[in-house]
Every structure is written in C-alpha cells, then in structure tokens.
Amino acid sequence: MERFFNNAGPIIPEDHYHIDMLSRVDWPEIRQLIAEKRYFVLHAPRQTGKTSTLLAMMKALSEEGRYACAYANIEAAQAARGDAAQGIPTACSAIARSLALYLDRPELDAWYRQEGQSIELRDRLSQLLAHWARTSPKPTVLFLDEVDALVGDTLISLLRQIRAGYAQRPQAFPQSIVLCGVRDVRDYRLHQGDGEVITGGSAFNIKAESLRMGNFTFDETETLWRQHTAETGQAFDEAIFPELWEDTAGQPWLVNALGYEVTRKIRPNRDRTKLITMTSYLQAREQLIQSRATHLDQLSDKLREPRVHSVISAIIASEQESPDVSPADLEYVSDLGLISLRPQVRIGNRIYREVIPRELTWAKQVMIANQEQSWYVTPENRLDMPKLLGAFQQFFREHSDAWSEGFSYREAASQLLMQAFLQRIINGGGRISREYGLGRRRTDLFIEWPLDAGQGLFGPIQRIVVELKLLRGKLEAVIAQGLEQTVDYAKRAGADEAHLFIFDRESGRPWDERIWRRAEKFEGMNVAVWGA
C-alpha cells in the first residue's frame, strides 16, 4: 500500500508522508536542556505535529541508551475539570500505563495499582514519579502531553507536585520533564476552588525554557508534497506550490489535509498517471473549507474565547489605528496559531482568513432569503454587481439592527453581514479573497467570477474589488481616502470593476440619508460608491 498524507493523529512513518520530526525543533538545544536536568515547555498550535515530535524525541533518546524515556498523554484528566480528586488519579493512571508500555516495565503499573492508589492525592503523582526514578537503572525523562487540557485544581496540583520533586532529581525524581500543550505555561489561568486565580508561571516557576514548534517552511511544504510524486509518479502543476503556501503558511494539518483531499478525496486523481491541476487543487481547497473538518471546527470554537474574541474582532473590524488589544492576548492568540505577528498582525493564513468570516456568519448566511444566482447573473454570465449591492443595501436596511444583535462579533457586524450576503452568491462557482488586519482601516474583498462555466477560473474572469469602510468623521474625507485605497487595491489585483461601500453606524441617522449611491472617478478608474 502506498503512503498517504496524514490528516488525523500522530505520524506513522511507514504509512505517512512526513518531514523528519526532529528537524522541526532545535534538537541539539533540547538534548542539552535534558542533559542539564532542566524542566521545560514545548508548545505549538493544535495539529501541528507535537505528539509525533514527542514520540520521535523519546525514541531517539532511548536509542542513545543514556536515559529511560516515556511519553504520556494525560488529556483524559480534562473530564475531571477542576476536581483534583478525579483528575490526579486519572493522570497518574495514564502515566503508570505509559511507563509500563514504553519501558517494558509492567511492574511500575502494578506498583501504582497495588500501592500508589492509596497515597494521598496531593502527593500521589510525585510519589509515582519518585518510585520510577529510584527503581530505574538510568536517569529518567518524561514527555508529558496535553498538559494544558487540564484546568483548575487538577492542573495546579499536577504542576505543584512536579515542582515539589524537582530538587530530588535525578536519583529520586525524573532528570527532565517536558510539558507539552497548545499554550505556554505562562498563559495558564488557574482558578482555584476558593476563587483565587493564579498563573501557570507562579505554579511552575522551575521552567527553564519555553520552546515553540513552528509551521513548515516553504521548502518543507513543497518537499512533503513532492514525496507523493517520488513514490507514485503523480505530478502536480508547478503553479500549485505558491498557492499552497499562501493558503496554509505551512500549517502542518492544512498542508496534509489539502494533500489528502486532492490526491484521495477527488476520485479521478486516484489515477496516478493523471496530472493534478490547479483546478483540482482549488476544488480540494473549497471542499476542505466547506467540510468544516475537526481542525477547522476547533478553530471556530476558539473564536468564542474572550481573549481570542478581543483580538480577532479588532482584526476583522480593522478600523482602529491603535486598537485596544493587550500584548498578552496577541501572544496568546499567536500561540494558538490563529494569527501571525510579523511583519504585521493578521490572520495566520489565507484559509483561516476564509474560514473565520464564514464560521462567524454561517448561521446568518444560510438564512438569507432570495439569493438565487439567477437574480444577479446577466445573460452574458456576468455578475450584476450594481444589482447585487443594491439588494444588499435593502437587506441591510431591513435586517442589520436585529442581526447585528445576534452576532458575537458585533464590532465587525457590518463587514461580516456583507461577506455572508456575498458568499451565498459566489459559492456557485466564483471565489472571494479577503484582506483585513489591524490598523488597515478597511476590508478588501476581491471577487473572481468565471465567465465561461466550462473553463471555470482558468478561462475569462470578471474581477471585482469591493472595499468596505466604516464612516468615521466627515463623509467626503472618508470617500477621498477610500477611493485611493480602492483604486490602489484594484490595480494590484488586476480588477476591472471597483466598488467602495461605506457603513454608517450612527444609529440616530435616518435610513433615507444612509442609503445612497454615487459614481466617482480616481486616477482614471470608475468607482461606484455606496452608503448604508
């Protein structure tokens, strides 16, 4: 059986295309930290290869012969929430089983069942780890996965019991412990039973380093996909690779999921003599977005977190030059992989830029009536944008107040409603690209609509720019700035049609004054300017 792109669970090298896991971290630095008897954190966004990397590190160290190494996943203790009376036994049980499995020492699990379970909860984990270290002929190293899945008193107890045994290493406690999760320990907000809130840093102040696993590089992304060609002979259109990078920015799950989608889920491409074209790639991309796969569903779940909300809403609204977002929240959302901080704060990759507005507006989008494409497509198969935007003005007039109240992201409700309205139309064969970010003071929408259904996006294309802005200050000044921005974007995008849409959020202004349309010209380009 040929290998394939892995989109679920840890890498199995015999089954999956993969990048060498140890090359994705600073392996010499990690080996040095372990040699120095350090406890440290390795964190990365979900589904970036953390577990695969931990298992690879355990295997490499074990093969060197200097250490007795084990990996344990304690995510099951999450079900206990803050109840340490359930959480700590669950974590200890998972660790004891892992010691027996990876070290081939069933007596360690037996000891825990027979003696360890009678130890007081506040000392049970530390005694389990101490028993392992004392009975091991080699210094012990523990890779502890999904630590930040724990909450409240369960997590506090775990961190403090590890800290309590730190001074006894390596003879009577593990030489090194690597805590792994999505977040750095500094971002843990721990709510104790008495209502007090402490940070992970204060509960685990023995941490020596926090190491972050990054995404694939451009070269690694291409190398991974070319493994498919090397092993099956099936080639990719070379134009795909720059698009793949823009879509994923090397996010490992996205890179693998798109690979699986285009090589396996699109059935004609299972013929390995068939070239995988850009058309197939774009089809795979849209299928992945619409599938609302687990990874993307988890992303949308994160959007409800208050710290994530404060950052993402500011990015989508994009109107403030100096948005009131705390640096700690920016770092946190960056650690989750949702945004990149450099060269400027923006959503982490092009697929996330697509998924986030869609997820935030999906329930609204499917409830919008009268959006059959035939209403807005001319006999020449062109989108009638004046008719479409005029219909949106009426829709916005009738529904914006009620629907904006229903949005959790009310700061960006106007922009999101517009995108929901357009998405239903464009889904039938076109594409919307979005650009937005902190301090940009507008949202750029670039619509590509195929004029020949047979050729799709590779035939003649109608290219349209729609610039969204909020009315802040004098209308004429906003229009003047908006025209410059709209025409600049239209020229960069190669658009032949441009629209500037200005939302007036002044609640006291009559709708008859807020709804208008006028024609403008800037640097030789016609721009339709709309108000709502």
pLDDT for position 454: 77
Q: Give the span between the Cα atoms of 91 and 121, in whole angstroms.
A: 11
CB 308 within 8 A of CB 298: no
Tokens coding 513:
């004054």
pLDDT for position 135: 98
pLDDT for position 62: 97
State mean pLDDT over 170-199. Answer: 74
Q: Give the span between the Cα atoms of 88 and 187, in whole angstroms.
A: 21
| Cross-sheet strand order for the sheet of 176-181 | 68-73, 140-145, 176-181, 39-43, 207-212
pLDDT tier for residue 376 given thresholds of 50, 70 and 90:
confident
pLDDT tier for residue 309 given thresholds of 50, 70 and 90:
confident
**DSSP code of residue 431:** E
152, amino acid identity: G
CATH topology classification for 21-212: Rossmann fold (3.40.50)
pLDDT for position 74: 96
Give me the helix-helix angle, 306-317 and 350-365, nearest 10°: 100
If you search the block for the tokens 């007081």, which residue do you land on? 120
Residues in the chain: 532
pLDDT for position 167: 95
Q: Give the span between the Cα atoms of 286 and 508, in whole angstroms.
A: 41
Mean pLDDT over the full length of the chain: 88
pLDDT for position 116: 96
CB 25 within 8 A of CB 44: no
| Residue 239 CB coordination number (10 Å) | 11
If you search the block for the tokens 């829709």, which residue do you land on? 395
Q: β-pairing, 461-470 with 443-450? A: antiparallel
Helix or strand holding residue 531 (H, E): strand 525-531
pLDDT for position 456: 75
Interval 433-451: pLDDT, tens: 888 866 667 788 999 999 9
240, amino acid identity: I
- 12-16, 137-141, 188-192, 193-197: lowest mean pLDDT where? 193-197
Peptide bond into 89 cis (omega under 30): no
State mean pLDDT over 33-49. Answer: 92
CA-to-CA separations, 216 to 227, 251, 439, 445, 491, in angstroms, rounded: 15, 6, 28, 28, 32
Best CA proximity match to 467, nearest among 431, 498, 497: 498
Interval 314-333: pLDDT, tens: 888 765 555 678 888 888 89
Peptide bond into 170 cis (omega under 30): yes
Interval 190-230: pLDDT, tens: 545 445 555 555 557 777 788 989 899 999 999 999 999 99
Interval 463-479: pLDDT, tens: 999 999 988 889 999 99
Q: How far is residue 180 CA from its own chain's centroid? A: 18
If you search the block for the tokens 């299928």, which residue do you land on? 287
Q: Give the span between the Cα atoms of 61 and 137, in whole angstroms.
A: 15
pLDDT for position 180: 94
0.75 exceeded by pTM: yes
Q: Give the span between the Cα atoms of 416 and 409, in whole angstroms.
A: 9
